[in-house]
A = this chain, B = another copy of it.
């Protein structure tokens, strides 16, 4: 089956699932019940570990959205309008951003969104109920711009036909730009032994300049801070389809550990997508609080937010392992944080000649 046909088939399925949601309301009304929608409660208390998929997903707690209240009635009305819009969009093979959707609602009279947060949230609800992802609805993210460089040839299905791109030979120094919908990609031959996902652009460029991708047959993926969905989805697909390890290299502060967690376990606010986007096999390289001591890294003092974030991580199920508990406690003790680029204290090549090879062999990756 051609890639185009595959996409079309996907769109048909998506439309059916969306319309079924509205069909439910219809059925409820016909059987003289007040329309309602069941959704899982989205709190830290309601995410649990799924042994099968090895990721954190929502538990059994549900909240009901019913037309019995005015607020609930409005939400169901807006849901119907959004499904109608998405259905038309899929028919026309168009796509739109979350922000455009918000503005589109300007003309929906009573169903107009008061703020974008509201429409964003409704799209998430539709993802949960339909068990699809917003990419299936053709809803695009605002930004992405993360990039890949490494020994792999990718086949991308674009609106302008199929492109085949080798992520070392056919790209400039900026690398291959990750598209919004990674499910339009197919991985052709590759020569990679691992994938390294890096938080900062400076460190990504350092590895590229030092030829780390060639020396260690590594696919270098730039996370650009908290990674976009497309970046996380790409990491998951590469890890599972190419069967090569994914390691994550970030700064040594709580926000960076959360970046790792969102790659490995998924995010709490989008636990419904964990099985689609999380890479449970991903391993954390560092910067680790213990590195601050062992490598005598330049540091900054923890801010009050840092300390609060570290404390809340101690009770985050995603960080309950012995490794994380001891590292987090050590960091609170040290009251310090370090950035990846602080390794430059030992020169520009230290990270690629010493730190990473040492750590990766410790971890048994190389």
**Which residues of A does B touch, CB under 8 Å?**
89, 94-97, 99-100, 103-104, 106-107, 140-147, 154, 156, 158-160, 163, 165, 168-180, 184, 200-202, 205-206, 209, 211, 222, 224, 298, 339, 341-345, 347-348
Contacts and interface: CB of A to CB of B under 8 A. Distances in A.
A120 to B, nearest CB: 13
Contacts of A175: 177
Contacts of A170: 163, 165, 170
Contacts of A97: 202, 205-206, 341
Contact of A173 (B172, B179, B209, B348): B179
Contact of A95 (B154, B176, B209, B345): B209
Given A172-B163, A179-B172, A205-B140, A345 B106 contact: yes
Contacts of A205: 95, 97, 140, 180
Contacts of A171: 163, 165, 177
A313 B231 CA distance: 39
B168 A96 contact: no
B298 A202 contact: no
Nearest to A101: B344
A249 to B, nearest CB: 15
Contacts of A344: 96, 99-100, 103-104
A348 B172 contact: no
A146 B172 CA distance: 13
A173 B156 contact: yes
A92 to B, nearest CB: 9
B145 A99 contact: no
Given A143-B224, A201-B145, A99 B339 contact: yes
Contacts of A163: 169-172
Nearest to A224: B145
A139 B206 CA distance: 12
Contacts of A142: 200-202
25 contacts: A94-B348, A95-B205, A96-B344, A97-B206, A103-B341, A103-B342, A103-B345, A104-B345, A104-B348, A106-B298, A142-B202, A143-B201, A144-B174, A145-B147, A145-B174, A145-B222, A147-B177, A154-B172, A156-B172, A158-B173, A159-B173, A160-B168, A163-B169, A173-B179, A174-B179
Given A145-B201, A172-B156, A206 B341 contact: no
Contacts of A158: 172-173
Given A140-B202, A209-B94, A224-B143, A177 B180 contact: no
A176 B177 CA distance: 7
B177 A341 contact: no
Task: Give me the 10 closest cross-chain CB pairs, A-B, nearest first.
Answer: A174-B177, A97-B202, A145-B145, A100-B344, A103-B344, A156-B172, A143-B201, A106-B345, A173-B179, A99-B341
A106 B339 CA distance: 14
A365 B7 CA distance: 38
Contacts of A159: 173, 209, 211
A176 to B, nearest CB: 7
Contacts of A176: 172, 174, 177
Contacts of A173: 156, 158-159, 179-180, 184
Contacts of A347: 104
A224 B174 CA distance: 15
A29 to B, nearest CB: 30
Contacts of A140: 202, 205
